Each structure stands twice: as C-alpha cells, then as structure tokens.
Chain A
Amino acid sequence: MAPSLAILGVFVIWPILVSFWYSLHNWTIGATDEPWVGFGNYVTLAKDPQFWNALGNTLVFTVASVVALVILGFLAASALTSEGLASRIVRSTFFFPTIVSLTSIGLVWKFLLDPDIGFVGGITQFFGAEPIDWLQSTSLALPAVIFVDVWKNVGFTMIIFLAGLKGVPQERYEAARLDGANNRQLVQYITIPSIRPTLLFATMILTIQSLQVFDLVYVMTGGGPLFKTDTLVTLIFRDGFVNFQTGYASAISWVLFAVIMAISGVLLRVFRYNDVD
C-alpha cells in the first residue's frame, strides 16, 4: 500500500493543493517573482473574453454530444439486445471505435473532412455539390468535432445501456403487455424508469468526459478557426504549457473543476427529483 499512497500523495494529492496555491499567484515561468494576487486571477478570468469563449464552446460541445450520445446509445442498445450473430457483429462494430485513440480518429477524420482529398468531400462532389471545408469554417468546425466525438462514443454508450437493459425483469414487460400497453408505452413506462440508474451513470460519465475534451480538438482544429473550437482544456494547455502563465492556467483548471462539480450536482438532483419509487 505504501507505494500507491506515496505516488498518489506526491503526484495527485499534493499537486491538488499546490495547484490552488498557484492559482492565487501571478506567476509566469521564468519570471523573477511570483506576487500573491489573492483571487486576482479569478477576477481577470471573469473579464477575459477568451475564457468565456472557451467555456461557451465547452458547454455547447458537452450538451450537444451528451444528448446525441444518450439518445443514439439508447436506441442502438434497445435494437441490439438479442444474442443472435447479426446483433453481436453489429455491437462489436459499433464498439470498436471506443478502443482507438482519439489521436488516430482525429487525424483520420481531419483528412476525411478535407475538401481536397477527403472521402466526405469526394462524396459531396459525386452528388454534384461543392465540397465543404468543414474544419476551416467558423460555423461548421465545432459541429464537425461534436459529430466525430459522437461517432466515437456511441458504442461506448451503447454498452453501458445494454448492461442496464439486461437488468430489467422481463415480467414487467409481460405484465404491461397483458394490460394492453403498446411498444411506445413499454419504453416510456417500463424501460426508462427501470434503467434510470444507468441513465444517470451514462449521463454523468459522458458529461464529465466531455467537459474535459482536449485530444479531438487539439488534433483536428487546434482550437481554431478563430478560437471557435477552443475549449477549457485547450485553453489550460495553451496558457500553462505554451505561454507558461502557470498561475492563470491553474485558476482555469479550478474553474473547470467547479463546473464539473456544479453540473454533476445538478444532474444528481434532476434524476433524484424524478424518483417515483
């Protein structure tokens, strides 16, 4: 146990405390002094349009991808509960992108969406339209990144829902069917209430991961064009490891932590309020 606690202590717990300490200083690596500024960094943040832009993009990314993932993951799981061969093959195919690195996926999609060489542009041209430069467009770059994130994580979400669906007792469906319920009523009154814990779990996990989005953005757009896909973590990376504004970047990371805690709290609330049993 000692090694684990030593590593966690030195490389996780102590840095958490130190990080907050940094965030209270105006510290740039290489500067001679590191003046104490109290909550000055947080005040600067509140006035920084770059920060609000990154926060806005992160929230749009999170809401759009989590909603799409929960709906598509649930539909895919409901359609693929059987243990037949076809169903198993489709499940494996959907799940496969989960294990592939976001770097490879980002790289491949960046090329796929390229208007000159990309398959997507090729198909657009085949149908007689002009290929679109998705990732250079200020309005389409963020939706394109969201699409790729959803494409990667549908199978992951599906697997979580499949585990939840397996736990629903079949008798409930039979009893409801005897009472004359149709398919939509079965989903609305039996399936969704029965898998509510799974729904909460999937939403929480996906939300927390989406708020920390970095790899896809870094590889596909680098935060551009014109910062339209900049997110909180790409901002932390740029301020912390490119501009070396250590104190300021630490403050952003604490805001990220606060946002994660706040949204998780809201989600827990929402799902508990619907508690009927």
Chain B
Amino acid sequence: MSTDVQRAARRRQAGAVGPAIKWILLGVGVVVALVPFIWMVSGAFRSESDLFHNPASLIPTSITLHGFEGVWQELPFLRLLLNTVIFAGVTTLACLLFDSMCAYALARLRFRGRSIAFVLVIATLMVPFQVTLIPVFIELFHLNWLNTYQGLIIPRATSAFGIFLLRQFFISIPTELDEAARIDGAGHWRIYWQVILPLSKPALATVALLNFMNLWNDLLWPLVVTTSPDMRTLPAGLTLFGGEHITDHAVLLAGATISLLPLAIAFFLAQRYFVAGVATTGLK
C-alpha cells in the first residue's frame, strides 16, 4: 500500500521533471533561434568601434544610423530593391497565370498527348536546376537577354511544381460545376476564370507565397544571369558587396535587415499559408 503511494508520488515527480526539462531545452532552442536575428538588427545600428570593443553585447552602446545611410550611399540599394520587387513580383504573377492555365488544361481538357505533357512536366522536377543552368545561360547570351528583366523573369515564369500542385487541386473540384456553367453557355476560358480560379484561392495563395519567397531569396539564378551591378537582386548584390569590401559591417547588416523585412511582415500576417504550403509540399 505504502509502496504504491510512494511509486505514485515518484511518478508524479518524474511527470513534473520531464516537462520542465523539455521546456528548458525548448527555451534554449528559442534563444539560439532568435539571437542571430537580434544581433543582426542591433548590429545594423552599431558603430564599427562598438562592434570591435563589445563583441559579447547584443545591444548597441549608442545608436547610430550610419549603417542605414551607408546602404543608400555605398550600394545601388534602391536599384537592388526595385529589381528584387520586379523579379519576384512579376515572376510570381506570371507563374500563377501560366501554371494555372497549364494545370486547367491537364485537369479538364481532353486532347492527344495530354498524358505525355503531364509526364514531361513531372520529369522536369527530377532533374536538378544546376543541370540546366549552363545551357540556359548560353541561350540567354545568344538572345542578348543577360542583364535584362526578361532574362531574369521569363525562364522562371512557370514552375513544374506549381502546375502539379494546381492540377491536383483542380481535379478535386467536382466537374458538375463545369457542366452547370457549360449549360449556361460558358466556354473553357470562362469556366477557368470564373469557376475554377475563384474556388482555388487557397491553393493559389500557397503557390504564390512559396514562389515569391523562393524568388525573393534566390541567389544562384540572379548571380548567373546578371553581371552588371544595376541588374542584381538583393541577395546577389549583398553577396557581391559583402565579398568586395566589408569595410563596414553595419552597412551589410542594415541591408540584410531591410531585405528580410517584407518576408517577415508577410510571415506575421499569413503564417498559416506558409506552414500549410511547406507541410504539404516540402518546398521552401
């Protein structure tokens, strides 16, 4: 009897210790996850001598804005930002349009070669991007499209992954809806535009968000197809200037902070879509 009580008490103790250890470890994890970001933002406001004299500090001894001023003076920062917005924004919109059109054709139209088209789309997913990089670079060179927006955007304006994801979603929409629309006299364009697309908003949001994030963050592609500093995007520009003259750390940290800001805001507003997108596709 007494041993039972003791055992129960011990179990209760163990039950309390387990979660305590768990939350301590999670707390350590949160600190490790957050400290680099805190250091990045605070570093953007610190002077070079402050960084050298107090490397163990997470907060500026005195706040200076020279990092943010330097970003505008030492880098073509406005141009980099504008390029990134155009590249990520236009490409995402084009992807949404082209991917959904292609997905509609694969999900709803009956034509010869449909299954071959679908297999081709899926097959491109298996080949790593680096295999096509060199030939695409040479194609763009012959087209005179290096260092242009069309060179940055058009080769990326459709994604096999988006087509696949949207096709799966379109197939799950009951065809009775199409038939009802057809009886009312709608053609394929109207069915696509007024029936399928409005019903697919969650899938479109996921595809848009993941695409935008990937393009905004992409380094290798803009690095390869642009050589002039005026056509670079933020990641490529920051890498280049970081490699050339790290005379002032605060400038680069300020640049990194600003380039992170739009995605951070999107994350706080639409975290659900990010998580749902990543959980279902494994894409990031």
Contacts and interface: CB of A to CB of B under 8 A. Distances in A.
Interface of A: 1, 3-5, 7-8, 10-16, 18-19, 22, 76, 79-80, 86, 90, 92-105, 107-112, 116-119, 121-123, 125-126, 131, 151, 154-156, 159-160, 162-163, 201-202, 205, 208, 211-212, 214-215, 218-219, 222, 233, 236-237, 240-241, 246, 249-250, 253-254, 256-257, 260-261
B220 A8 contact: no
A103 B135 contact: no
B133 A253 contact: yes
Contacts of A12: 124, 127, 132, 160
Contact of B55 (A125, A163, A211, A253): A125
Contact of A156 (B25, B138, B278): B278
A3 B101 contact: yes
A208 B129 CA distance: 11
A65 B139 CA distance: 35
Given A99-B267, A103-B238, A253-B134, A117 B219 contact: no
29 contacts: A3-B102, A4-B102, A7-B155, A11-B136, A11-B155, A15-B134, A15-B139, A18-B135, A19-B134, A86-B23, A93-B33, A95-B275, A96-B33, A98-B278, A100-B217, A102-B217, A103-B259, A107-B253, A108-B37, A117-B52, A160-B278, A202-B282, A211-B128, A215-B219, A233-B130, A236-B133, A240-B133, A241-B224, A249-B134
A102 B57 CA distance: 24
A154 B25 CA distance: 14
A108 B139 contact: no
Interface in B43-74: 43, 51-52, 54-58
Interface string B134-162: 11111100000000000000110110100
Contacts of B266: 99
A232 B152 CA distance: 24
Interface string B240-254: 001100000100110
B56 A122 contact: yes
B152 to A, nearest CB: 12
Contacts of A110: 242
Nearest to B281: A205
A10 B219 contact: no
A116 B105 CA distance: 58
Contacts of B117: 1, 5
Nearest to B160: A8
Contacts of A117: 51-52, 55, 249
B191 to A, nearest CB: 14
Given A7-B157, A117-B249, A101 B219 contact: yes
Contact of A254 (B39, B131, B213): B131
Contact of A151 (B32, B135, B213, B236): B32
B120 A13 contact: yes
Interface in B228-284: 234-236, 238-239, 242-243, 249, 252-253, 256, 259-260, 263-264, 266-267, 271, 274-275, 278-280, 282, 284
Contact of A108 (B132, B216, B234, B256): B256
B260 A101 contact: yes
B196 interface: no
Interface string B1-43: 0000000000000000000001101100110111111011001
B169 interface: no
A101 B216 contact: yes
Contacts of A208: 128
B132 A15 contact: yes
A275 B25 CA distance: 33
A103 B40 CA distance: 13
A214 B239 CA distance: 13
A1 B104 contact: yes
